[in-house]
Structure 1
Amino acid sequence: MHITEVRELDNVELYRELSQQERALMNLRFQKTTRQLTNTNALRDTRRTIARIHTVLKERQIVRDLGLDESSS
């Protein structure tokens, strides 16, 4: 999931996607441990997607805290 796709989601969808990605990361770690993981890049991609979601959520929180949110005007 690219950053442009992440930015298009609203907060509820972001939290839902974050939960799904964290669950997927856990499953990938289990697969790696049991040597069933064939795509080793999937771990990195999932971690980066989680980081992107956290980044967008933090950006939105900062904007909201500073009162720069356009929808509040």
Structure 2
Amino acid sequence: MKASELRALDDAALNKELSDLLKAQFGLRMQLATQQLANTSQIKKTRRDIARVRTVIKQKADQK
């Protein structure tokens, strides 16, 4: 997701998105460990999406 899309979400939706991304990252790591992951760039994309969501959450918390 883009940062502009994330800023439009509320706190509950951001936390749900973060939870979903962390679960997806875990699944990708397990696929990598068992050599079932064909596209390893997905790990990098997921990691960056997690950082984006955490950044937006932090920015919203600082504004309050």
TM range (shorter): over 0.9
Which protein shows a greater Rg? 1
Matched AA of 1:9: L
Q: How many residues align?
A: 64
Alignment partner, residue 11 of structure 1: 11
Deviation at 1:61, TM superposition (A): 0.7
Counterpart of 1:47? 47
User: Following the alignment from structure 1 to structure 2, what is the Cα–Cα distance between the partners of residues 59 and 25?
Assistant: 23
RMSD between aligned residues: 0.7
For structure 1, the 5+ residue unaligned runs are 65-73
% identity of equivalent residues: 42
Instruction: Provide Cα deviations, 1:21-65, integer angstroms capped at 9, x if missing partner.
Output: 00000000000000100111110010001000100010011110x
| TM-score, scaled to structure 1 | 0.84
**What's the offset of the Cα at 1:5?**
1.6
Kindly state the Cα deviation for residue 4 of structure 1 after the two structures are TM-superposed.
Answer: 1.5
Bigger RCO of structures 1 and 2 (CA < 8 A, at least 6 apart): 2
Deviation at 1:13, TM superposition (A): 0.3
Match of residue 27 from structure 2: 27
**Structure 2: which 5+ residue stretches go unaligned?**
none
